[in-house]
Structure 1
């Protein structure tokens, strides 16, 4: 049987210009200098403005030691300075490394030790001792105004940026992505997404700046569109996000499916002022959301799929092209194959591992030739083994069926449970640890055997070691781990111990709130002192909890959930008329 009859599908062939994404931005700045390209910090920045200040910051970076091919780590707050950091790094010809300023010190130090940046740039005072350059939040323009422009020659063949992902060894690993891959992605956006409406679009940037998907809105900007950088308090609160979209008449919104669902519930598609295009990626989309958006009039919804190793997204599917969730077809200059364990393509319709080849592939893992050779295999051509179980349907669409290993996406972040296990095993008092992915909304559950200490102290130690998306939603103490025939931990047999039944006494108002906790967190039991965030809640689920309580008649906002974390405290918001109501 020829390969054409097997599970192989390719995107269109497109010429990739020998430029960097920064060259594309500078071309646009010369073409439309007076057009607004970025709205941030309540200021509308033109292409000329951003290009000018980017050149000044580039000169400052060069004077601090940045040069073509070196790494510039940017730990920036969500402001115009963060966008300038990306642009200035590219103008120098250096490699951009985004870092979340809120990372625990241990993880920040691990990333900096691995990446060995020539310059660390920040605008956060508490990180000043780790930084080479600190831009003040108030006088940064005065600091940069004395620097002349800087336009060195730039090579389009080298790395453009680094993104650190979770690693099973307990240490984060850096994925190095080249300019050619990024420019190929720009070509895909220009051909398939930019024509979403007539003229320049207003694009919402509500994604985390240290998330590789944040490149999508930046490339929209380089394509001549107007980018609106949502402040943190706005982007994390669905109601405020929707108000922002309406106030600024934004036409393109991108979010992970969980957040998009919350935005839809908050009224994103209600009224006359609604976005024209919704873009989702980072995790699987459920059928309910898929069907709802597919039927929404006047809206184009697109599902994106792609590992970090394949430059943001590798396949795309317009929801109106398929009735059930699909990851679609490969982007330009990209081939997808469904293969067996020997990397041989399987027949159409049969499940197997998805492997990707083409211009989207990253350069590899920084300083890790072994893992690079393991995942980026050479079989006639260079291919990336995604570890995702998929199948190619007869209509040419790819269907995602889950993971072949225990890796998972949580709120758009790729998570290796093994990294959490390593963090647990290095903690004092922990004899054994195992971490599993559980629940319909994937979450990490840790099982531990403790020699000393308590679950509370262990959780506090993890908070100091790991970013929030790697924290287990639940830590279950066990007397001993279940073992299989070979003496290894039997992970399938891991279950919480049967608790001694106890009577939980709740008032009627507390029961109303407790019921919302149980449904939102998929837990059988909570009591008056149960803390939403200690039980595994996060900002998105907190917003969903607030919406759930409002639907029950409780005047509850996201801020209330953040400040009143327990059942008892939130129950104080329940109106007296709700007393005795059945939730």
Structure 2
């Protein structure tokens, strides 16, 4: 009887040039100096201008204390400086650490205390007291113009390129250190898989958060000679405005998390003559409905990208045209994957197991945590990363994602460890006990905290968490209980916690019911009453735009601004015209 085929799949082997990611852009600038590279703030930047101004900024960073191999923290507004900063850090030989200006001050302080950056750069005025270099939004060119634009400085091709902090189960965020070699490998994959032949330039939307690992993809499209359009914050938060932006700028490549992509589809992304040719999605699982919808769209290439932060943005890719049902596909170049059992032995094809990744995509380490690095990356006989994802290898060599082996979840594309939120909740005064779990599925997935309090209310706890956690880690609801349920061994029985999605519907007026129906659909919660606050129940900017669209489809004149200002069912019901409550629900 023949031995069963094991779940081991390798990507194609490609020769990697020994260079830094920023040097790839320098080479492109030498080939096409006057080609438009970046469109931001209503202005177009050529490759020549991009490299010249980033070199000047690199000189300023060096003069301000940035040293080769040291960390340079950057908290940038969504402007041209957000692209110049990582280039400048690389040219200074330093390691780029993106800091989201919207993060609570306590989280920023925690990260800076661990990373110990040699220089902190920002163009956000309110962060000026913490930063070493503060650029003024309108006058930064005058500030850095005296510095020599000699492009001779550059990072080591074998050294670290950036460190990105993700949610940590111990209660503290952990820094993932990624090398130039991995970024160069990712560039090679993008070039081989997506760049059109003949050097034709595509117009690429950069609508991803700046402190999100996928934001590296648009920067690497720059290295291919493509034109990147930085989508303003107020536009990317509103799917309708984002779609108009795509049309107005004639953008052909758009990358987004599936929930954001679905919201743009609902607002007409693929209608009309000016529509994207290539849609890239990653950060969270794609549902069957979205998968089928995109597969059916004529003249469109849509690709599902999968990969943990520890594996440099994406590790596998699956064109939606290849399969009828969702899959994460095959590994990228110079990368191998295998599906293993609890003893780390590859399982036969078709059997589920943990996905393990090897190859050039792997991060270098966790910043300052050698024990954690050894635990997650130190698998014999080759260096490999244990993803914690449950997968299955299909007979054709493609992979299916089946879920997580732990409590980790993805919310709006961000990796979330409920344990980190539990630690933060328990650290608040007046909180005696706390359990945090994820509820719902897909776009309705949310964090819910269950607490036992000495004083205050659940909403008080949620308000205080906003001061210590970034938005995607703040629970959608905090439910105060007299006691947490215990199992037979005295441990907290999480399965016995009351789900906010399973309580009965209260009685509403006809206009309120019209408004409450899309509340339930979008949030996955049955308990919606007249004073339910859309954002307190887990709504965010994307789902708010979807709510406005669904209400308009029901005959209610409602905009995104209305949802932001009228957060409750009752307030939005005031917009319902007489007779509209009988419209389609």
Q: TM-score range by the shorter chain?
A: over 0.9
Contact in 2 for aligned 1:196/1:276 (Cα 8 Å): no
- SS at 1:181's partner residue? helix
- Structure 1 segment 213-228 matched on structure 2, within 5 A: 213-228=214-229
C-alpha deviation, 1:209, in angstroms: 0.7
Distance 1:17 1:399, change over 3 A: same
Q: Which residue is 1:56 aligned to?
A: 56
- Structure 1 segment 272-351 matched on structure 2, within 5 A: 272-351=273-352
C-alpha deviation, 1:497, in angstroms: 9.0
The answer to whether structure 1 residue 383 and structure 2 residue 384 are counterparts is yes
- Structure 1 segment 37-436 matched on structure 2, within 5 A: 37-150=37-150, 151-195=152-196, 199-436=200-437
CA-atom RMSD in angstroms = 1.8
C-alpha deviation, 1:226, in angstroms: 0.2
- SS at 2:185's partner residue? helix
Contact in 1 for aligned 2:453/2:480 (Cα 8 Å): yes
Q: Which residue is 1:467 aligned to?
A: 470
Contact in 1 for aligned 2:201/2:226 (Cα 8 Å): yes
- SS at 1:60's partner residue? helix
Across the two proteins, how many residue pairs are aligned to each other? 582
C-alpha deviation, 1:2, in angstroms: 9.7
| Aligned mates of 2:4, 2:184 — CA distance in 1 | 28
C-alpha deviation, 1:197, in angstroms: 8.8
Q: Which residue is 1:458 aligned to?
A: 461
Contact in 2 for aligned 1:478/1:497 (Cα 8 Å): no
The answer to whether structure 1 residue 495 and structure 2 residue 465 are counterparts is no
| Aligned mates of 2:269, 2:52 — CA distance in 1 | 35
Contact in 2 for aligned 1:196/1:277 (Cα 8 Å): no
Q: Which residue is 2:485 aligned to?
A: 482
| Aligned mates of 1:15, 1:280 — CA distance in 2 | 27
Q: Which residue is 1:526 aligned to?
A: 528
Q: Deviations over 1:280-305 (max 9, x none)?
A: 00000011111111121111100000
Contact in 1 for aligned 2:554/2:583 (Cα 8 Å): no
Q: Which residue is 1:576 aligned to?
A: 578
- Structure 1 segment 440-459 matched on structure 2, within 5 A: 440=441, 441-459=444-462
Normalising by structure 1, report the TM-score. 0.97
Distance 1:454 1:224, change over 3 A: same
Q: Which residue is 1:9 aligned to?
A: 9
Q: Deviations over 1:260-312 (max 9, x none)?
A: 11111111111111111000000000111111111211111000000000000
Tell me whether 522-531 or 399-408 shows the greater mean CA deviation: 522-531
Distance 1:329 1:197, change over 3 A: farther
Contact in 1 for aligned 2:176/2:367 (Cα 8 Å): yes
Distance 1:451 1:499, change over 3 A: farther
Q: Which residue is 2:561 aligned to?
A: 559
Tell me whether 369-378 or 75-84 shows the greater mean CA deviation: 369-378
Runs of 4+ displaced beyond 4 Å? 1-4, 496-504, 579-582
| Aligned mates of 1:524, 1:442 — CA distance in 2 | 14
Q: Which residue is 2:551 aligned to?
A: 549
- SS at 2:149's partner residue? coil
Contact in 1 for aligned 2:90/2:154 (Cα 8 Å): no
In structure 1, runs of 5+ residues without a counterpart are none
Distance 1:242 1:84, change over 3 A: same
In structure 2, runs of 5+ residues without a counterpart are none
| Aligned mates of 2:567, 2:126 — CA distance in 1 | 27
C-alpha deviation, 1:98, in angstroms: 0.6
- SS at 1:130's partner residue? coil
| Aligned mates of 1:502, 1:364 — CA distance in 2 | 49
